[in-house]
Structure 1
Amino acid sequence: MKYIPVGVDIAKHLIQVHFVDEHTGEVVDKQVRRQDLLTFFSNRKPCLIGMESCGGSQHWARELTKQGHQVRLMQGRFVKAFVMGNKNDVMDARAIWMAVQQPGKAIAVKTEEQQSVLVLHRSRRQLVKFRTAQINALHGTLLEFGETIHKGRAAMDKELPAALERMKMKLPQYLISLLEDQYSRLNELDSLIDSIEKQLISVARQSETCKHLMEIPGVGPLIATAAVASMGEARAFKSGREFAAYVGLVPKQTGSGGKVRLLGISKRGDTYLRTLFIHGARSASLLAKDPGPWITELKKRRPAAVAIVAMANKLARLVWAITANNRQYDKNYVSVRPY
């Protein structure tokens, strides 16, 4: 079936559509109200609809796919290369129309359940940031008045009450009350984070795929649920290396004249998922009783941080292989490549 390419620049209220009429060859630039977008496409032949991956794009991709259209979500940096002239809604839609016809890797369209799990992860990440900022603010305030406590939450719980008692002797009561309120908020954030983590553990226990993933050393409920939800359809990735590249666990490359030089790990990919994989790899390589000969030998040849990132890359490939093939983890499994 031949799909008609269409570029769609989505927004909150007015959505810009660009395509070329297949019968007359007329270039169409049309503004469609948000509530009329599905009606506009319901009366058209199957289209290849390109959209930038942004807020609301997953919703529109699901709804347009139900109508029989094929939707490709693309990263904004790939679309930017096709913007000609001034940047506005019309030129953005034309750039998307050109970009959707180019070969490349599209972003997976996720189900509502997968997006719901990702919302839990994003909320947890935001709360952890709030908690870290609150702890740093308390450290800075205490230092201004000559009080220092050791790093870490456990040290703060142990040393802060004594520090506040000493400060009560020389500082106004309103400042002490403020610091006590800030400290009490840490407990509130702790309870919110614990509640989200319990929900993620419940989701992991209800998913057969997550159960298989959690058998891998270094993979817990957080990595399992985040990986499955972020992956969308595992078979959309051709290999484990492609998924590792999607996460951002492969090095940058630079080369010319047939000579390619590998650089360090870039900031491309899913930052949150990459962080989880690196923490999981650190746990598997440093805390496990038997981390395995592969990582043990690698740590002898390379710096510890480099070895941990390499282990994270391996974890990502394992996660993809188990998810895509719907099988259990086997420590002694040996992959056989056809010649």
Structure 2
Amino acid sequence: MAKTEFDELMSIGIDIGKDTFHLVGFNQDGQRVLCKQIKRLALIATFEELPRCVVGMEACLSAHFVSRTLRKMGFEPRIIPAIYVKPFNKGQKNDYNDAEAIAEAALRPSLKAVSEKTQDQLDLQALHRVRSRLVSRRTATINQIRAFLIEQGITVRKGLRALKNSFETILEERKDEISPRMRRILIGLYGDWMWMDDRIDKVSKEIEEISRTEENCVLQTIPGIGPMISTAMVAAIGEGEAFDRGRDFAAWVGLVPRQYSTGGRTILGRISKRGSRYLRMLFVPAAKVIMMRPHRWPD
């Protein structure tokens, strides 16, 4: 077989799109020898004709699927956070320039890549995202009910339980103050609320069942850590092999001070808030619960 220019490919960068992928590849001399646009369905057929090498891609939707597909074919995929690709961008922003920056970033030995997620992790992550969306929509629905009641001159004290316990009583005792149309609207919103409550309970129970069978959910032995936090961590980092120590995980999730140091002077600010906002949202209330119970601190 005749030798081709692709035989010396050292790295390939993929700019992943919805329907099309843009590929840029470099050889061992740093020369760009591959510049191609392909359809998503042509991914396997295209890479079967290329030599096995490092393949970089930004962390985005379907990146883990593409990574698993290429790894099965013998390539060495690396999923790179977008913030680490940005310094390698040159010129105007377009798909080919983005793919070129990804290909260059993939060759940096000190660059921390994103751990490839398994299908089980993606499924668990999907459950958490569905639950988070349902909780958000439930809160919006409850706030809308409160707003409509206030417009009728009816106020209810704070708390989800207070509104749920007094809703039917309000409709009965204040029926002269609420128009028939507004009454129907409120009953419809209350039905939406009850439906979302039921969906949230079902998803939560499924997550709890997974936490009992998932061997990596060992964090539940720590005070304040329950099924939600432990399964969310498994979905995000798996076994945590990407981190050498706990402090590295704290830095990744954004719970350490933001640093701006120069000239030997260390300047630390507020927490960096990098990484997963959802994990921070779970960790902070859990930490507050522990801080409110000094008798549990020795644990």
- TM normalised by structure 1 equals 0.81
1:17 aligns with 2:19: no
User: Which of 213, 216, 238 is 1:206 aligned to?
Assistant: 213
- In 1, Cα distance between the equivalents of 2:173 and 2:88? 63
Q: Alpha-carbon deviation of 1:28?
A: 2.0
Partner of 2:5: none
SS in 1 for 2:23: strand
What SS is found at the alignment partner of 1:252?
A: strand
Supply the RMSD in Å over aligned alpha carbons: 2.0
Task: Give me the whole-angstrom Cα distance separating, in 2, the residues matched to 1:202 and 1:194.
Answer: 12
Output the amino acid matched with 2:147. G
Aligned amino acid, residue 172 of structure 1? S
User: Which amino acid counterpart does residue 97 of structure 2 have in structure 1?
Assistant: M
CA shift digits 1:81-115 (9 cap, x unpaired): 22222211111111111222233211111100011
TM-score (norm 2): 0.91
Contiguous gaps of at least 5 residues in structure 2: 1-7
Work out the percentage of aligned pairs sharing the same amino acid: 37
* 8 Å Cα contact 2:9-2:25 kept in structure 1: no
Structure 1, unaligned runs of 5 or more: 293-330, 332-339
Partner SS state of residue 54, structure 2: strand
Query: Which residue number corresponds to residue 143 of structure 2?
Result: 136
- What does residue 318 of structure 1 align with? none
Match of 1:326 in 2: none
Give the paired residue count.
291
Q: Which amino acid aligns with 1:110?
A: K
Closer, same or farther: CA 60–146 of 1 in aligned 2, 3 Å: same
Match for residue 256 of structure 2 among 250, 261, 268? 250
Q: Hey, what's the Cα distance between the residues in 2 that align with 1:166 and 1:144?
A: 17
Match of 1:58 in 2: 64
Cα distance change, pair 3–113 in 1 and its aligned pair in 2 (3 A): farther
Answer yes or no: is the 8 Å Cα contact 1:15–1:33 preserved in 2.
yes
Contact 1:167 1:176 in 2 (8 A): no
| Equivalent in the alignment of 1:113 | 120
Q: Is the 8 A contact 2:15 2:95 kept in 1?
A: yes
Partner residue in 2 for 1:230:
236
Alignment CA distance shift 1:47-1:232 (3 Å): farther
Structure 1 residues 128 and 75: CA distance shift in structure 2, 3 A: same
Q: Once the 2 structures are TM-superposed, how far is the Cα of residue 216 of structure 1 from its aligned partner?
A: 1.0
Cα offset for 1:18? 0.2
Moved over 6 A (4+): none
Alignment of 1:25-40 (within 5 A): 25-40=31-46
- 23 and 161 in structure 1: CA distance in 2 versus 1, 3 angstrom threshold: same
Question: Paired residue for 1:152?
Answer: 159
* 1:175-324 alignment runs, 5 A limit: 175-210=182-217, 212-287=218-293, 289-292=295-298
Query: CA offsets, 1:278-326, max 9 Å, x none?
Result: 122222232474223xxxxxxxxxxxxxxxxxxxxxxxxxxxxxxxxxx
Which deviates the most, 48-57 or 161-170?
161-170
CA contact (8 A) 2:26 2:103 kept: no
| Counterpart check, 1:72 vs 2:61 | no
Q: Match for residue 89 of structure 1?
A: 95
| SS of equivalent to 1:263 | strand
- What is the identity, as a one-letter code, of the residue corresponding to 1:204? S
Instruction: Quote how far apart the aligned CAs of 1:13 are.
Output: 1.3
Cα distance in 2 for residues equivalent to 1:126 and 1:24: 45
Report the Cα distance in structure 2 between the residues aligned to 1:163 and 1:188, rounded to whole angstroms. 21
- Alignment CA distance shift 1:75-1:23 (3 Å): closer
Task: State the shift of 1:121 in Å.
Answer: 0.5
Does residue 141 of structure 2 align to residue 163 of structure 1? Answer: no
8 Å contact from structure 1 (residues 218, 281) kept in 2: yes
2:126 paired with 1:126: no
Aligned AA (2:149)? L
